[in-house]
Amino acid sequence: MPDGPRQVPDVVARIAAGRPITAVWDNEVGGVTFQIGHGPGREFVKVAPPHPAVDLHLEADKLGWAASYVTVPRVLGVGRDGAVAWLHTAGLAGTTAVHPRWIANPRPAVRAIATGLRALHDQLPVDRCPYSWSADSRLAGLPASARGELAEPPPVDRLVVCHGDACAPNTLLDEDARWSGHVDFGALGVADRWADLAVAAWSLRYNYGDDWSADFFAAYGVPADPGRIDYYLRLWDAEG
């Protein structure tokens, strides 16, 4: 979360049209997400400088596809303003799972993250998904040296439509600590569910401290698989 004000791009100011603007999230490639307004009618604008890993038009397409099956932000607009790409969405109910309330009391948030991810995996139809996030396709985008260090991916356990960035901040929780939706679908695609599960379990320690994996895997409904977790975390790291 931002530790102070951020410069508001012109496109965000135009969309806000006088409504309050608050920077609510900084990502690792220089992008910022701004909240416009407050309460149930709030909206969000994600802005991003040029980066090979960021395609907000593709994310808008993926949100449009996923919206038929699960709760995702509704796309209100997408475009480019000079060098800045932007994605404008309607807000969802709930707060991020790394809100200070949940940082102070992680257990219910961990369980909600797990049940939300399981619902996502169960509800998004693999046979209708036009997007891939498979280990093979990700390996193909790496330098040969990195591919050699990773070796062959483990056999697929279960193909699902993965979120693609199942870190704790991308799950939203309601006031009763129930999963209420997901955000940030830029990498959504079909893959082994352990591509998501490994990153989600890792993020719990990163965001909350301590080892929450037992609670997480119990709530998701699958035993931990150390071999697949290790592989998919190394693949995640190799992609930077």
Active site residues: 165
Radius of gyration of the chain (CA): 18
Instruction: Please tell me the distance from the alpha carbon of residue 161 to that of residue 129, in angstroms, as a whole number.
Output: 7
Residue at 116: amino acid letter: G
Residues 172, 92 contacting (CB under 8 angstroms): yes
